[in-house]
Structure 1
Amino acid sequence: MTVLQTIRHYYKPIQPAIKVGNELIIYREIQPEKGVENFIYCFWQLRTEAILEEPFLYRVVSDGCIDIFFNHKNPTENYVMGFCRKYTEFPVGNEFDYIGIRFLPAALPLLFGIDAKTLSNQDQELKPLLPNFSNWIETELRANQRFEIIAVLLTHKLKTIIERQTFDLDIRFYNSLNLIFEKKGYLNTETDLSNGLSSRQLRRLFNFYIGTSPKAFSNVVRFQHILNAKPTRHSLKESKCYYEVGFYDQAHFIKHFKTFYGVTPSEAFR
């Protein structure tokens, strides 16, 4: 298994679906095809079925990924969102249709050479950063194309970009990254991630490829491990799976969870 395959094997970043009962808002994901699956976690769409009575505030939880997304009805509106240390909320109005690419951790900087740190904790227009890719979205994608068709077009475009690359992978960085995934984010990043790199070198590489420090990224991986366990309010009280990843009591866990999700576990899993 290559280092890039290992990332996909160990890490499955979750964004919560729209709550049951909100049938007018649809969130969908399409898994990537072979050839892009080690770079892309999924293609996603968030859209309304009809005009909403009230403007919608969409919450994005911390997932360690970088996304490129655009307005399906007007692809000239295309953006990139970097690593976020906490949850983010977007006011998206009464009617919307967004399509995006969720890149696996480290994938976008590897493909495009962009310093992930310059993208962190914000969304910004794609054109100043990747003008060619932004122009391709504007000219090749149409409002009347179904999500499935757009996912195919994006896949072909990304395959072309990948096939033209000669990747110079720093195995020491990827070994550190994969160790964080193996340990579910529960480790001492100062002592457990040596791999022949100094703390300063490792931080520099994580800033470039992930957009944050090893410790901050590990905290998001811990949080995502909890989401992947698909807990309920009852199971959290009974099994206390958060102890497995280093939360020493319930108050400590709730504080961290709320930072990454925006609400308490009881509110999230009811």
Structure 2
Amino acid sequence: MQIPDFRQRFQPVQPTVKDAGEQVVYAELLPDMRLAPYIYCYWQLQTVQPLTRPFCYRVVADGCMDIFFDLHQPEENYVMGFSTAYTEFPLPPVFHYTGIRFLPAAFPLLFHINAAELTNRFEHLAHVAPRLSKDLAALAALPSFAQAIQPALDRFFLQVLNSAPLQADSRLFNAIDIILDAKGTLPVESALNTGISPRQLRRLFSFYIGDTPKTFSKVVRFQHILHAKPSVESLKKNKLFYDGYYDQAHFIKEFKAMYGLTPTIALR
């Protein structure tokens, strides 16, 4: 089956690298268009020069699942599941991380992994998908990989896509469509009328997303605010940013849980 391409309505944002100044750079690369419904981007986070002070990289809740590894140790690859809160990674003085960010539901669909088993945690990929871990490590260990990361990963995942029997309930993707169209602000218990019972829908979301439709909607709503790039002043003036929240205090509390900072600090 061909799944919908969500990227026109869902563009997950991660914070830019500020704390390390010019010592660390972050970049995103688009995948081959045939992979676009499954992979949002390939990304790189690397030091330009050895760090002179401790550095933690903050990953905010974005509704996606990621595979990542350091090119210095490609056999030590990891998968990070759906997260409802921010995660901080203390990093060494020198690193060159490469990652694959999968759009919602894509990683479980391609590799038949229960997303709920990885929610709010990261795990050695070898413990989750041993063959994938081994093949990806072998690819990343090639001397040519660092000079041609995008085409190498495109070829790798196109082979995965061509060999993977994709079977998923279309009603799951209809529900995701509805949530994305509403930017995560709809009452999910009454609005997700996709021809499936709420219990069955929660089961599908648990396996393919990693959490409930309600929690996924919260992350979508949070990501919509990040993508809109509001200033602190516009947050104060434009009440549309609080749509779906009980009040401003609830908005601030949920934003801080998913970002790690209050909106005032994060958006200045």
TM-score of the superposed pair, with normalisation by structure 1: 0.94
Structure 1 residue 145: Cα displacement: 4.2
Q: 1:134 to 1:196 in 2, by over 3 A?
A: same
Give the SS at the match of 1:154: helix
Of 212-221 and 133-142, more deviation after overlay is shown by: 133-142
Q: 1:146 to 1:232 in 2, by over 3 A?
A: farther
Counterpart for residue 88 of structure 2: 89
Distance 1:91 1:214 in 2: 31
Identity %: 47
Q: Verify the 8 A CA contact 1:7 1:38 in the aligned structure 2.
A: yes
Structure 1 residue 229: Cα displacement: 0.4
Structure 1 residue 184: Cα displacement: 0.4
Distance 1:139 1:56 in 2: 29
Counterpart for residue 261 of structure 1: 259
CA shift digits 1:211-238 (9 cap, x unpaired) = 0011111000000000110111122122
Q: Which sections of structure 2, spanning at least 5 residues, go unmatched?
A: none
Counterpart for residue 71 of structure 1: 70
CA shift digits 1:54-80 (9 cap, x unpaired) = 121110000000000111111011000
Structure 1 residue 87: Cα displacement: 0.6
Give the SS at the match of 2:264: helix
Alignment of 1:92-171 (within 5 A): 92-142=91-141, 144-145=143-144, 147=146, 149-171=148-170
Residue type matched to 2:238 in 1? S
- How many residues align? The count is 268
Q: Verify the 8 A CA contact 2:19 2:55 in the aligned structure 1.
A: no
Counterpart for residue 196 of structure 1: 195
Distance 1:167 1:122 in 2: 25
Distance 1:3 1:240 in 2: 38
Counterpart for residue 32 of structure 1: 31
Give the SS at the match of 1:53: coil
Give the SS at the match of 1:44: strand
Structure 1 residue 6: Cα displacement: 4.0
Q: As a proportion of its length, which structure holds more helix?
A: 2
Give the SS at the match of 2:21: coil
Alignment of 1:219-234 (within 5 A): 219-234=218-233
Distance 2:32 2:136 in 1: 19
Structure 1 residue 165: Cα displacement: 2.6
Distance 2:129 2:24 in 1: 30
Residue type matched to 1:90 in 2? F
Residue type matched to 2:245 in 1? F
Check if 1:17 corresponds to 2:16: yes
Distance 2:41 2:34 in 1: 13
Give the SS at the match of 1:23: helix
TM-score of the superposed pair, with normalisation by structure 2: 0.95
Give the SS at the match of 1:167: coil
Report the RMSD for the aligned CA atoms in angstroms.
Answer: 1.7
Residue type matched to 2:256 in 1? K
Structure 1 residue 144: Cα displacement: 4.9
Of 103-112 and 4-13, more deviation after overlay is shown by: 4-13
Q: Verify the 8 A CA contact 2:67 2:99 in the aligned structure 1.
A: yes
Q: Verify the 8 A CA contact 1:72 1:143 in the aligned structure 2.
A: no
Of 231-240 and 197-206, more deviation after overlay is shown by: 231-240
Q: Verify the 8 A CA contact 1:226 1:241 in the aligned structure 2.
A: no
Distance 1:21 1:55 in 2: 9
Structure 1 residue 130: Cα displacement: 1.3
Structure 1 residue 256: Cα displacement: 1.0
Check if 1:238 corresponds to 2:237: yes
Q: 1:263 to 1:3 in 2, by over 3 A?
A: farther
Counterpart for residue 186 of structure 2: 187
Structure 1 residue 260: Cα displacement: 0.6
Q: Verify the 8 A CA contact 2:139 2:145 in the aligned structure 1.
A: no
Q: 1:3 to 1:144 in 2, by over 3 A?
A: closer
Residue type matched to 2:199 in 1? R
Residue type matched to 1:26 in 2? V
Give the SS at the match of 2:156: helix
Counterpart for residue 252 of structure 1: 250
Give the SS at the match of 2:221: helix
Give the SS at the match of 2:204: helix
Alignment of 1:53-64 (within 5 A): 53-64=52-63
Distance 1:128 1:264 in 2: 35
